Amino acid sequence: MTTLRARDLHAGYGDLAVLHGATVELVGGRLTTIVGSNGSGKTTLLRTLTGLIPATSGDVELDGRPLGRLRAHERARLGIVLVPEGRQLFSDMTVLENLEMGATGPRGRASMSSTLDEVYALFPRVAERRRQVAGTLSGGEQQMVAVARGLMAKPSVLILDEPSLGLSPKVVLDLFEIVARLRGTGLTMCLVEQNVRLALAIADDAYVLRHGRVEIAGPAHVVRDMPEVQAAYLGG
């Protein structure tokens, strides 16, 4: 199982520094959640982990191997896959074509048809809709396709940025059920979520990000019971 570790990451956009020394570890086979207020730097952290933006300083290591300046497509080849905020499907293409696009890199391409079967078993609704143009799917269906597309690359580390955004409570529960099922299959997962209560309920490990720094880290159930977390993120 693959562990992704980031140490003292600094990153941002031009003159804007967003991450001010973030240290996180996505432990092999575990589900880690990263929560924090809007603008605290969660998406920026995920972009830095996956190589979409460069770190200005600090390291990201995959099983102890420093990734240095490897770009996103190179990290994807190593198995680090991001399902981005806002889904970003190819809306004019069918569901199946979107899934095929996800089967990138040697790992994904080698096993495309068997992975497709696995993904369809996990998401029966996606299987039903495979001939449909992605842009005409409901929001929940599109999010399922986005996660399914991520799985098509045969990731060892799957990173989900706000998968529940804009979905009804029922669809969110369906999606989280699938995330919970993926956990325990050897896949290392990272979940960024607005729904802090649900995220802390299903995760193994948790980080609370504030102003680009890790404010709190620990086992998810311990973090959930902290009075400061209850007060700031759980309305109690």
Residues in contact with ligand ATP by CB under 6 A are 13, 16, 18, 36, 38-44
Q: Which stretch binds Mg ion (CB under 5 A): 36-44, 62-70, 150-158, 206-214?
A: 36-44
Quick one: 13 or 90, whose CB is closer to ligand ATP?
A: 13
Radius of gyration for the alpha carbons in the chain, expressed in angstroms and rounded = 17
Closest CA to 84 of 60, 116, 125, 52: 52
Quick one: 32 or 40, whose CB is closer to ligand ATP?
A: 40
Cβ–Cβ < 8 Å for 124, 181? no
- CB atoms closer than 10 angstroms to residue 3: 17
Given ligand ATP, Mg ion, none, residue 2, with its beta carbon under 5 to 8 Å by kind, binds none
- CB atoms closer than 10 angstroms to residue 28: 15
Quick one: 16 or 121, whose CB is closer to ligand ATP?
A: 16
Quick one: 82 or 119, whose CB is closer to ligand ATP?
A: 82
Q: What's the min distance (Å) between Cβ of 40 and ligand ATP?
A: 4
Given ligand ATP, Mg ion, none, residue 166, with its beta carbon under 5 to 8 Å by kind, binds none
Contacts of 41 (CB under 8 A, 6+ apart): 18, 19, 22, 209, 211, 212
Binding status of residue 2 toward Mg ion by CB under 5 A: no
> Of the candidates 2, 32, 40, 43, which one interacts with Mg ion according to CB under 5 A?
43
Given Mg ion, ligand ATP, none, residue 154, with its beta carbon under 5 to 8 Å by kind, binds none
Q: E-strand spans in the chain?
A: 4-13, 16-26, 31-35, 57-62, 65-66, 80-83, 157-161, 188-192, 205-210, 213-219
Q: What's the min distance (Å) between Cβ of 37 and ligand ATP?
A: 7
Cβ–Cβ < 8 Å for 34, 191? yes
Residues that bind Mg ion (CB under 5 A): 42-43
